[in-house]
Amino acid sequence: MVYLVGAGAGDAGLLTLKARDVLEIADVVIYDRLADDSILNFCAGAKKIYVGKEAGKHTLKQSEINQLLVDEARKNKIVVRLKGGDPFVFGRGGEEALYLRENNLPFEIIPGITSAIAVPAYAGIPVTHRGLATSFAVITGHEDPTKPESTINWEKISTAVDTLIFLMGIANLPQIVQKLIENGRNPDTPAALIRWGTKPNQETLITTLEKAPNAKILPPAIFIVGDVVNLREQLQWFDNKILFGKKILVTRARTQASKLSSALKDLGADVIECPTIKISPPSDNYAAADVAIKNLRDFDWIIFTSANGVEKFFERLKIHGLDARALNKVAAIGSATAEKLSNFGIIADIVPKNFIAESLADSLKNLVPNKKILIARAEIAREVLPDSLKSFGANVTVAPFYKVVPETPAQIDFNSIDLITFTSSSTVENFINIYGVEHLKNIPSAAIGTITAQTLEKFGVTPVIIAKEFTINGLVEVIKDYYGK
């Protein structure tokens, strides 16, 4: 089966549910330049083949792409042809479908949200509006160069349609404007050029039809002509977001980055995920953890110091054929850890006011003398908590359920980064081990709390943002406040 799929206009959130579903079952994904890279995360197990086209540079000719679809499908594979926008709006999806039909191969079309409508909407420009525009046309700005002459009926379309939307027309903008004016369109008609529409680096330039060729804007961009352009002044929304235009680096582990990334994207930020750590089994391959679980009922208290510790603890618990009924009293270092416990049906008996080891130890001071305590944590961590509990008279066992190790370095253009976020001391230390400290002296940083801030300061870096509430939500709020001011 071959699925001809529209990836939408650029914002990965505009991908349809059906498109996501077929990407998840795909064996092969053949994708173009305008598909948002994060969309490819839905097809992690598929073979990915890039066939994108840029002005004057084609990875493969269209005939070769057609044949590639056939060749891959004949291997009894589920093939997804992923295109920016919609496959049937200047996406050459019709040609690919016809070639599949000629070769007796089954296919399905999954429409995408075309940039012709989505991009103007993100710029605050409706393509129709009561009393202002009752019609719109979507026109190619890049006709087949082998045609002897234009097949666009300029004489009629120039004045018969209220809103004109040209796709892929930046290179031919002078000719488009000339044709429209020659055929009766008022040179003072409002016009807009929108580059990278629906994405955090969207650029919108408002001009007039006559002045549009003077615009300094590069492809990929769309060109809109019509009175509806004037509505942007009132309807602008996307580029009004508080973090719009800010490029923020997220250093969390890849499996945990999504919550912080999503929250920052919702505020308009361009988020670059650069994980500096990953979660791995402890060096003893769970030997100490398994001993602790076998003797779980002997512990009066189990203390969790991170959401990772909770997750890995319950993974081992399941392997031993146990569940939450094996636990006695439970303490969590903070709200995120407590929330992770609640996912397993556990309500923490103790969650300190301040989400740090010192505060947790203080909360337990009068409850743990002569008690057996298990601390389920990372292999390497601060010793404040076990040392404090021992000083209170507790019998403390520390069992590592995971360890934090450096992630593979990514290629990052630090010159374009506005802010670097850190959610733990280990993200700071591993970032500096991988990339050095110089970037942190030139780029503002944000820390999730005082302990992470102290680690930055140890390397001579003062974070400009420190969360008062030591959670992802708390970090997002102070970032929002910082840029809001």
Among 11, 36, 162, 168, which one carries the catalytic annotation? 168
CA dihedral 149, 155, 157, 161 (to 10 degrees): 170
Give residue 394's Cα distance to chain centre: 44
Centre a 10 Å sphere on the Cβ of residue 298 and count the other Cβ atoms it contains: 12
CA–CA gap between residue 68 and residue 100 (Å, rounded): 10
- Spatial separation of the C-alpha atoms in residues 477 and 308, rounded to whole Å: 23
Residues, the chain, total? 485
For the chain, the distance separating the N- and C-terminal CA atoms, rounded to the nearest angstrom, is 53
Q: How far is CA 105 from CA 32, 100, 224, in A?
A: 22, 5, 38
Tokens matching residue 439: 């970037």
Return the HEC string of 184-205: CCCCCCEEEEEECCCCCCCEEE
Q: At CB < 8 A and 24+ separation, what contacts does 431-437 make?
A: 431/251, 431/276, 432/459, 433/406, 434/276, 434/406, 434/407, 434/409, 435/409, 437/461
Q: Using CA atoms, how far apart are residues 85 and 66, in angstroms rounded to an integer?
A: 19
Q: Known catalytic residue: 144?
A: no
Contact indicator for 372, 344 with CB cutoff of 8 Å: no
Which phi and psi (to 5°) does residue 446 adopt?
-125, 135
CA atoms within 13 A on the CB side of 354: 11
Q: Which residues are paired to 200 by β-bridges?
A: none
Instruction: Choose the catalytic residue: 27, 48, 53, 362.
Output: 53
Q: Rounded to whole angstroms, how far apart are CA atoms 225 and 207?
A: 10
Q: Is the alpha carbon torsion for 469, 475, 477, 480 positive or negative? A: positive
168 is annotated as an active-site residue: yes
DSSP state of 138: E
Active site residues: 32, 53, 168
